[in-house]
Amino acid sequence: MRRLDQRPARIDAPTLVGADIEVPLVSGGVRRYVNLDYAASTAALTEVADAVDAFLPWYSSVHRGAGFKSQVATAAYEGAREAVREFFHARSTDVVVFVRNTTDATNLLASALPEGTQVLAFEIEHHANMLPWRRPSLQVTYLRAPDSPGRALDELEAALRGSSGADRLVAITGASNVTGEVWPIRDAATLAHRYGARVLLDGAQLAAHYPINLQDLGVDFLAVSAHKMYAPFGVGALVGPADLLSGGTPYLRGGGAVDFVTLDSVLWSSLPERQEAGSPNVVGAVAMGTACRSLARYGMDRLAAEELELAAYARRRLAALPGVELYALWDGGMPRLGILAFNVRGYWHSQVAAILSAEYGIGVRHGCFCAHPLMLHLLHVDDDEAVHIRHEIEAGNKGRVPGAVRASFGIGTTRDDVEYLCRALEAIVTDGPRWAYRLDPASGEYSPDPETRQWPALPVALSAVLVGRGESS
């Protein structure tokens, strides 16, 4: 039997479930699906799917079951917690709380902050690191979108110097989910601590693409989603000091979070159970822990270097295409993940995405990527125009909501995929689409007219209606 402290051998390139899947084209025939939508959600690592399949026969309730399966499930659940702790190099005093996703993690932290806490966040943040702070008990200040990492630190220091109060939190992204820029996290954490503030790192985009060492970076809290880490089974984690999370009333109240209950009193459990009420997502936790171990064995430094190189190449290729406009907050020279937001002259973003899917079998995302203030900034949409857009949406017309197309990379993305995307965009600019498309104003989506592609035969219920405009975190 392998000892718990023994590290498994390094692995070669990780593989993904469905990496070679073929999708239908609107003109007939099929081709290999080119997935350039990793920033929204990822496929499962083969190792993760294998681990889930192996665990499912042993699935049972955790923590209080005397049965052997329950004991195995509990060991697997707590083993996953330790895998997450080790992957992010958490401090020995940190707690790892399993949640649903990054959004759930930030809402949990927001609910635990002392009343009157001042939260500082940049206006470029994903909604998951923006909306949870908008509650009566907190005071939130949004800092302007900076045009360089240095300006970001200057803006942050000015805000910290001008703020007051005993409780302050800096909520900062690790990497933009729109432009891919990697933020100066360590410097921001050092600055925040100098002024007595704590730091939450939104690691949703960074976690599967770049090494995160909590002890080295110096951030206090980390929020992540497993569905962006090649373990799409509905779980995430909040990692950080126990003091804020161990006081007051838990974020979610119910069974599993208590030691004793009467009709007029509750004795809450200690962490992490205190913040994990209800039956936990044991399968999701096992999947996340497996993903952490697999990515660690491959090497996050190695993974980051490969993606940074591919991202730089892709930016050069897209920037050279006539009619294609790339968006960025900062000039080149800074580390960027494989995330590229762009528009094609003469086409609406949703139309480009529909053409790439229907005619070329390329999956991208389009819209505002749950980062509306950032997109309005990048697209130079002023306040008056933003008000007009809101009125149009309220009237049921989403057909002209501004946005962009986003191609995002991950494990399995190759130069050939980048070249295929560039050739498709070049053909759209030069020759136009080869099929007709119609706009549904109610959803803002373009679709082929006629639509000839058929859903695959799956043993699940499939709706005839495509829905959804944002992306989860």
- The answer to whether 196 touches 217, Cβ cutoff 8 Å, is no
SS (HEC) of 19-42: CCCEEECCCCCEEECEECECCCCC
Structure tokens given for 183 = 């933020």
Q: Checking DSSP bridges between strand 339-344 and strand 30-32, what pairing results, if any?
A: unpaired
- Burial zone of 261 (CB within 10 Å; 0-12 exposed, 13-18 middle, 19+ buried): exposed
CA–CA dist 202, 42 (Å, integer) = 18
- The answer to whether 118 touches 167, Cβ cutoff 8 Å, is yes
Question: CA torsion angle for 468, 200, 97, 115 (degrees, to 10)?
Answer: -100
Alpha helices in 227-371 (DSSP H): 282-298, 300-319, 349-360
- Residues in CB range of 26: below 8 A, 6 or more apart: 358, 359, 435, 448, 451, 452, 453
Task: State the sign of the Cα–Cα–Cα–Cα dihedral 179, 308, 128, 121.
Answer: negative
* Of 392, 344, 393, 390, nearest in space to 364 by CA: 344
Alpha helices in 166-276 (DSSP H): 185-194, 214-217
Query: Known catalytic residue: 368?
Result: no
- The answer to whether 365 touches 408, Cβ cutoff 8 Å, is yes
Q: Which residue has the tokens 């962006």?
A: 228
Question: CA torsion angle for 240, 8, 307, 310 (degrees, to 10)?
Answer: 180
- The answer to whether 86 touches 292, Cβ cutoff 8 Å, is yes
264-275 in b/e burial notation, b at 16+ Cβ within 10 A?
eeeebbebbbbb
**Catalytic site residue from 292, 368, 370, 422:** 370
What is residue 259's DSSP assignment?
A: E
As annotated, the active-site residues are 370
